[in-house]
Amino acid sequence: MINLPSSSDVLIIGGGATGAGIARDLAMRGASVVLIEKGDFCAGASGSNHGMLHSGARYASSDKESARECAEENDILKRTASAYIEDTGGFFVALPEDEGSFTDSFQSNCRAAGIYTRELAPEEVLREEPLLNPDITRAFEVKDAAVDPFMLVNATIASARAAGAVITNYSKAVSMNLGDEGIESVRIERAGRTCEIKPQLVINAAGAWAGSIAAMAGQNLEVGVDKGTMAVVDGRAANHLINRLRKPADADILVPHRSATIVGTTSSPGDLNRIRPTAEEVENLLREASKTIIGLHSMRTVRAYSGVRPLAGAGGRNASRNFNVTKHENSNMISVVGGKLTTYRLIAQKVADEAAGFLGISSACRTDREELPVLEKFRSKQEVCSCEMVSRDSLIEWSKSDDVTCAADLMRRTRAGMGYCQSGLCAFDIVSCMEGDPVQMLQDFLSERWKGEEAVLYDQQLRQEVFKSHLFKVYNIDHSGGN
C-alpha cells in the first residue's frame, strides 16, 4: 500500500476524472499533491457514464457556454488522449415526430456556438448506418466520439504520478480538524486504519458527494444529484455515435464502444444510497431507442448500469452542464462541482489556476499540449490478430527488420493472418503496422492469401469468403485479386 506523507501543498478528495485531472495539472506545475479516493478510481460518475466525447452539439440549443467548451475540449483530447478515444464521428437524426423548432434551429444554434455540423441527405446516412430507422427526415454530421473513461482517468493518474503526485484509492476522508485559518488536517480511513494529513489547501472534487465534504469543513455547497441509467447491448448497432435530434429526452444517445452499444440515458432525482438500474428503466430505454435503431429491442442486452451526475445547482435533465469552482471564504478549501467528462481537463485547469494563486505557484498549465501516456498494459493488450494472438507491438518490431518488405513477409514471421479468419478481420491492422501505400499493400497481401483459398470454396468456408469479400468491397478492394 502506498505510504501517504504527513503534509502536502494540496490534498485532493475524489479520484474521478475531475480529481485526477487536477492532480495531474498541479503536479506538472510543481506542487506537492496527494489525492485520495474512497473506492477505486472512477467509482463515481466518471465510471458510470455514456463514454461520449461531446462535440458540443447536444448543448448548443440550451447551454452555449458548455457547448463551446465541449467543442474546444473535444479537439484538445483528440490530440492529447487519442489512445483512449475512438473517433467514430456522430450523426444527429430526426424522426417525423421530431420535426419542429428544435430541429429547425439546430444548425444555426451550433454555428452560433462555433460547433461543426454538416447536413446530409437521409439516404446518405442510411447507407453508412443501415440499421437506422429508414423514416428519418433529417440528419447532421457532428464531431462526437467514443471515449474510454476508465483508461482516460487511469492514464491521467499515471501522468500525475510521473510528475510526483501521491495518489491512492480505497482511502476515505472521514473528518477534518478545523482551526482559525480553516482546515488544519484531514483524517483518512484506509484498510481499517486511520491516518492524518496536513495540507495547505484542500480541493473538494468529490462529485455528487461534494456537499458532505464541504460540510466537514463547516461550509455550505449546493450540489444537484441526478440519476441516469444506461443499457449495454451486445454488438455495434451503429458505427457512428447516434443522437436523436430533439429536445433532450430518454434514450436519445447510442454510443458504439468496442464490440457493444451503450444506450441511454434516463434522468431522475438521484439517491446516493441507491444507484441501481431498474428493469422498468431498461425496458423504457430499449423501447424508445428502438425507434431510432430498428430491431435494437431484439439484440441481446448484456447489462445495465446507473450513475449520478454531480450538477452545479439543482438537478434535472435541463440543469446546466456547466461547472462551478468555489473558493470558500475563510477557508483553505476549493470545491468544484459539475461539468462533463469531456471538459474534465478544462475544469482541472481552472481549479489548478485558482489553487496556484492560493499557493503562490507561477507556472502555467501544460495539459492542453502534453499528451497523456499510453498505458503499458493497454499497449501490450492491443492484439492485431486474435486467432493467432499477435500483438501490434510485435508486428511493429518485425516491420523494422530489413528482411520484411511486404505484409506477407510480416505474416510469415509472426503468423498474423494465418489463423481461423485467414486475415479477413486483421488484414487492415497488419498493413497499418507497415510503411508504404496501404491500399496497394492490402491488395498484394490479399492476392497472395487468395492462392490458398480458391480451392476450398464450399460449405462454411464459402460463406466466410463471401463475408470477407463484402468487408473489403467497402474499400474497393477485390480480396481475390481479380481472380
Ligand X SMILES: Cc1cc2nc3c(=O)[nH]c(=O)nc-3n(C[C@H](O)[C@H](O)[C@H](O)COP(=O)(O)OP(=O)(O)OC[C@H]3O[C@@H](n4cnc5c(N)ncnc54)[C@H](O)[C@@H]3O)c2cc1C
Residues within the interface to ligand X (CB under 6 A):
13-19, 36-39, 43-46, 48-52, 54, 172-173, 205-209, 213, 228, 265, 307-310, 339-342
- Closest CB to ligand X among 182 and 338? 338
Least distance to ligand X, CB of residue 474, Å: 28
Least distance to ligand X, CB of residue 415, Å: 39
Least distance to ligand X, CB of residue 198, Å: 17
Hey, what's the torsion of the CAs at 458, 460, 461, 465, to 10 degrees?
Answer: 100
- Closest CB to ligand X among 213 and 434? 213
Residue 104: all three cell numbers together: 429547425
- Closest CB to ligand X among 98 and 148? 148
Spatial separation of the C-alpha atoms in residues 424 and 461, rounded to whole Å? 12
- Closest CB to ligand X among 62 and 464? 62
Residue type, 36: I
Least distance to ligand X, CB of residue 126, Å: 25
CB atoms under 10 Å from CB of 157, counted, come to: 24
Query: What radius of gyration do the chain's Cα atoms show?
Result: 25
Containing 163, the helix (H) or strand (E) segment is none
- As beta bridge partners, residue 234 has 260
Containing 11, the helix (H) or strand (E) segment is strand 7-13
- Closest CB to ligand X among 86 and 453? 86
Could you identify the residue written with the cell 464459402? 462
- Closest CB to ligand X among 243 and 422? 243
Least distance to ligand X, CB of residue 228, Å: 3
CA proximity to 161, closest of 356, 373, 7, 361? 373
CA proximity to 197, closest of 40, 328, 329, 36? 36
Least distance to ligand X, CB of residue 146, Å: 9
Residue 9: all three cell numbers together: 501543498
Q: Is 456 helix (H, G, I), strand (E, B) or coil?
A: helix
- As beta bridge partners, residue 147 has 85
Spatial separation of the C-alpha atoms in residues 72 and 99, rounded to whole Å? 29
Least distance to ligand X, CB of residue 147, Å: 7
Least distance to ligand X, CB of residue 324, Å: 11
Cβ 283 vs Cβ 297: under 8 Å: no
Entry field: residues in the chain: 483
Cβ 204 vs Cβ 186: under 8 Å: no
- Closest CB to ligand X among 160 and 477? 160
- Closest CB to ligand X among 342 and 349? 342
Least distance to ligand X, CB of residue 64, Å: 17
- Closest CB to ligand X among 187 and 327? 187
Least distance to ligand X, CB of residue 13, Å: 5
Spatial separation of the C-alpha atoms in residues 133 and 290, rounded to whole Å? 8
Q: Please calculate the CA angle 165-168-172 and round it to the nearest 5 degrees.
A: 125
Cβ 87 vs Cβ 144: under 8 Å: no
Spatial separation of the C-alpha atoms in residues 92 and 109, rounded to whole Å? 14
Say which residues have a Cβ less than 8 Å from residue 400's Cβ, sequence separation at least 6.
Answer: none
Least distance to ligand X, CB of residue 220, Å: 17
Least distance to ligand X, CB of residue 394, Å: 34
- Closest CB to ligand X among 207 and 256? 207
- Closest CB to ligand X among 327 and 412? 327
Containing 190, the helix (H) or strand (E) segment is strand 182-190
- Closest CB to ligand X among 17 and 410? 17
Could you identify the residue written with the cell 423514416? 135
Cβ 256 vs Cβ 233: under 8 Å: no
Residue 173: all three cell numbers together: 476522508
DSSP-based helix, strand, coil % in the chain, nearest 5: 35, 25, 40
